[in-house]
Structure 1
Amino acid sequence: MTELSWTLPVVGEDEGGRRRLDPEEVWQGLLRKAENPVPFIAGITGCQVLERHEDGLLREITVAGRAKARERVVFHDRRLMVFHQIDDPYLAEIHNEIGRDEQGATTLTIRVLLSAEGKAKGQRDGSFVESTARYFGGIVQPIVDTLVRSRSESGPGA
């Protein structure tokens, strides 16, 4: 399985200056993103939670106002969220993982795993992997920025 991955520290600017989020704050933000990714990811224009499960949820996202895709989101140990792609023949899973860097700052890793069909498409058409990497690589910083901003807006202890 082909894997693409990006890791950034979860730090950004708020009205008080630079702000680092702790792992629990990031987890709470990722839960909000699972419920409603619209504020976090440009291009996703709608989301409907179809089912709730003890370990996550099933959702249907709308991309660019027209394409729909279902994802089974599974929560693991308050540090990993796996978005299993049900309708996308080229993507198998998208992972959102909370970690720490060498300086102890909380990090967010976005990992994309292509399906066997996606890997085959990438071998036939190199631009497929490039465009997939460009898209997902381009959404990591906006996700971090939204996590920091939404934490600042919800205030301390929220």
Structure 2
Amino acid sequence: MSVLSWTLPVVGEDAGGKQLLDPEEVWQGLLRKAENPVPFIAGITDCRVLERHDDGLLREITVAGQAKARERVVFHDRRLMVFHQLDDPYLAEIHNEIGHDEQGATTLTIRVVLSAEGKAKGERDSSFVESTAQYFGGIVQPIVDRMVRMREDLRPRG
């Protein structure tokens, strides 16, 4: 398996019941996560933006206070961000994509694309795929929860 994927509706609970973020609010949340993933993803302990580009940015993240990795983040059509992994031999890309489910609710899909080396490692060692799936599968709900909690800050001004 070379692609792992998870999709969740971007919905949470508040005093008034369920609240659903619209695609623009989710996009604003993804922009914040690209700039600073620390509040969104447990395990990422630091992030520095190294360069800014018209279509995204280059960042360096620190995982668990030790391992550093550079990612080229490319923004596509206010619905897709692709995190190109520049230093990880096993991961090629991580996609964050905004969509809709059958009921019309806004969704967030996290898609992990393994590199050729990652695919080969997964074929040799099934625990690699299992641990990768467990880690990335476990970060989707906290990302959604964080966006829901910061909803007021994600709304367009004006």
Q: TM-score, normalised by structure 1?
A: 0.96
**Paired residue for 1:76?**
76
Q: Are 1:47 and 2:47 an aligned pair?
A: yes
Residue identity in the other structure for 2:123:
Q
Distance 2:132 2:147 in 1: 23
Residue identity in the other structure for 1:25:
E
Q: TM-score, normalised by structure 2?
A: 0.96
Matches within 5 A, 1:100-139: 100-139=100-139
Contact 2:3 2:111 in 1 (8 A): yes
The offset of 1:150, in angstroms, is 1.2
Aligned-residue RMSD, C-alpha: 1.3
The offset of 1:136, in angstroms, is 0.3
- In the alignment, structure 1 segments of 5+ residues that lack a partner are none
SS at match of 2:102: coil
Residue identity in the other structure for 1:77:
D
The offset of 1:156, in angstroms, is 5.2
- In the alignment, structure 2 segments of 5+ residues that lack a partner are none
Q: Are 1:87 and 2:83 an aligned pair?
A: no
The offset of 1:18, in angstroms, is 1.6
**Paired residue for 2:38?**
38
Contact 1:70 1:87 in 2 (8 A): yes
Q: Deviations over 1:13-41 (max 9, x none)?
A: 23443210000000000000000000000
Contact 1:14 1:149 in 2 (8 A): no
Count of aligned pairs? 157
SS at match of 1:83: strand
